[in-house]
């Protein structure tokens, strides 16, 4: 049975495992070194109630997470967030990311966020497709802003007004 719910600190090891796999094996994130649990605790605690972290749980195991993180610490940006979504390898392509995005955007809207930005590496056709499907629009491309696995990477910028 799948459950989508707000994350707690008890979920942090699973959240970190999923994220660290993506750091090491994909260009989905521009982090290049796995995060320690301490670093992840700081990340978790930086998410005030307005910025939700949602997990997907199947039969008691965390199989994915999504977060809305502060876009900037400058006060006028307080109603703007950036979305992150990561599904455990082996559980991708089963509709979990789509559902997590819905739940997260709904939670963010309920918490008073006005708009959400997505920064997506240009070859990540699945995430671009999902964002388009949810109503995000393309707002630009940042050329060659990342370098990972000896490749220069472009970033597609997308945005939704909630």
Ligand X SMILES: CC(C)(COP(=O)(O)OP(=O)(O)OC[C@H]1O[C@@H](n2cnc3c(N)ncnc32)[C@H](O)[C@@H]1OP(=O)(O)O)[C@@H](O)C(=O)NCCC(=O)NCCS
Residue 111 makes CB contacts below 8 A (sequence gap 6+) with 49, 50, 51, 52
Q: How far from 67 is each of 43, 76, 81, 105, CA to CA, in Å?
A: 11, 20, 9, 9
Residue number of the CB atom closest to ligand X = 97
User: Where does 15-99 show beta strands of DSSP type E?
Assistant: 53-58, 61-70, 80-87
When the beta carbons of 30 and 75 are compared against ligand X, the nearer one is: 30
Stretch that binds ligand X, among 7-15, 68-76, 129-137, 141-149 (CB under 6 A): 129-137
Interface residue with ligand X among 7, 67, 120, 158 (CB under 6 A) is 120
The residue among 28 and 113 lying less far from ligand X, judged by its C-beta, is 28
CA separation for the pair 136, 120 (Å, rounded): 12
Task: State the number of binding residues for ligand X (CB under 6 A).
Answer: 21
What is the smallest separation between the CB atom of 39 and ligand X, expressed in angstroms?
A: 18
Give least dist CB 127 to ligand X, A: 4
**Alpha-carbon gap, residue 47 to 24, rounded angstroms:** 24
Out of 53, 55, 62, 85, the residue judged to bind ligand X by CB under 6 A:
85
Question: Helices 37-45 and 12-25: crossing angle, nearest 10°?
Answer: 110
Q: How far is the CB of 143 from ligand X (least distance, A)?
A: 17
Binding mask 12-51 for ligand X (x = CB under 6 A): ----------x---x-x-----------------------
Residue 125 contacts ligand X per CB under 6 A = yes
Coarse DSSP helix, strand, coil percentages of the chain, rounded to the nearest 5 percent:
35, 35, 30
Nearest to 26 by CA among 124, 94, 104: 124
Q: Which residues bind ligand X (CB under 6 A)?
A: 22, 26, 28, 85-87, 92-98, 120, 124-127, 129-130, 133
């Amino acid at each position: 049975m799948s459950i989508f719910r707000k994350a707690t600190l008890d979920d942090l090891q699973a959240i970190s495992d999923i994220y660290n796999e993506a750091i090491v094996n994909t260009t989905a994130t521009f982090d290049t070194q796995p995060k320690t649990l301490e670093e992840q605790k700081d990340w978790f605690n930086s998410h005030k109630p307005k910025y939700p972290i949602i997990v997907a749980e199947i039969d008691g195991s965390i199989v994915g997470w999504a977060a809305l993180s502060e876009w900037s610490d400058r006060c006028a940006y307080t109603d703007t967030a950036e979305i992150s979504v990561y599904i455990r390898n082996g559980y991708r392509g089963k509709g979990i990311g789509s559902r997590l995005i819905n739940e997260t955007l709904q939670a963010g809207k309920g918490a008073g966020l006005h708009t959400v930005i997505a920064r997506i590496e240009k070859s990540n056709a699945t995430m671009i497709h999902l964002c388009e499907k949810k109503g995000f629009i393309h707002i630009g491309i940042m050329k060659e802003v990342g370098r990972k696995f000896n490749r220069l990477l472009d970033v597609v910028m997308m945005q939704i007004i909630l």
